[in-house]
Amino acid sequence: MIKFAPRRMSSFIQVILLALICIIGLHFFLKSDSTSVSVKAPEPAEFKQQPSEERPKEPAKNRVKAALVSLVRNTDLHGMRQTIREIEDRFNRVYKYPYIFLNDVPFTDEFKKGVKDLTDSEVSFGILDDESWGTPDWIDEKKLQHVLDTADYINGRSRSYKYMCRFQSGYIYKHPLLKDLEFYWRIEPDVKYYCQLDYDPFVYMKENNKMYGFNMAPNEYMVTIPTLWNTTKAFMKEYPQHVAKNNLLEFAVENGDYNGCHFWTNFEIVNLSFYRSKQYEDYFKFLDRAGGFFYERWGDAPVHTLAVTMFLRKDQVHYFGDIGYYHPAMGFCPKNSKSSGKCVCDPDKENEFNYGCRRRWDIV
């Protein structure tokens, strides 16, 4: 009996162990199956993924004849793509205004594809002619070359920069691609637009009889325009009929001299009838014949500003203080952006009143 008892005990234990294994296996099987069912259960409604917002397929019905326009080089593709992305996200994916890109040489296929990939809007590409991009025959080439060799201010030795300032001052609005437009919005590469824009600034300008819109007003480098004001005074003396009553010259002139205040024209929204007016055209031709675009560095910003302040009233000019903006070197954040929730910037760091001419705008 002593020999056979362990065998009977061993068999009994084996049976018990086998039963336990089966019970444990069944437990895990049921738990696993229960878990899989719970994973597939519907989520609460508030956690369901919402369908992605579809981009509007049609332009806004009340659009005006306007476009976003840029004079740009092929090498600016990356910076231009950044700007387009900002504008599409903040504004144009809804309103679908066309883009017009201008260049002094043909655009590459890479540039064309690179900008068209970012928008559903119409995109046009134009090239400049010799009259609008070049040295006119009345400019003394030797005198110009001396300036290009000796100028000690930024871009003073760049011939192409002088061409650009002259083109932006007197030719951009004459380009065939802009001939049917009522308004244009000038855009530049490497720009940031800080705020969501929930209205159409072109429609606002048209409905409120605004001719010129800006959003920054710094001071000009006076070394670049030593004779611009004297030339402008000579123009006003010759064409007194062009100077508007109740004009805005107080913004730009203090104690009889130009104070350097200017609308920073890398952002401007303009009723193009202003640039096409006889007053403006006579002023540009007067400046062009004086040669300051080449012998000095007359920028389109002070030229546009002096024209606006001579020919318009304040109620015809609009400050777009809600379009937060950054162009390399300078920017501003709307003062109410902390409460509006529509801007991605800090008004304490980029205060619009950091610029003296912005403060002056409120008192003229």
Q: Give catalytic residues, as residue numbers.
A: 268
Q: How far is CA 107 from CA 112, 116, 167, in A?
A: 7, 13, 18
Nearest alpha carbon to residue 231 among 277, 293, 281: 293
Beta-carbon contacts of 40 under 8 Å, excluding residues fewer than 6 positions away, are none
CB-CB contact of 321 with 197 (8 Å):
no
What are the residue ranges of helices labelled H in the chain? 5-40, 77-87, 93-95, 109-116, 141-150, 159-170, 201-207, 228-238, 249-252, 272-275, 278-290, 292-295, 300-311, 337-340, 356-361
Nearest alpha carbon to residue 272 among 319, 188, 202, 322: 202
Distance between CA 88 and CA 185 in Å, rounded? Answer: 14
Quickly tell me which residue has 């611009």 as its tokens: 228
CB-CB contact of 70 with 186 (8 Å):
yes
> Which H or E run contains 133?
none
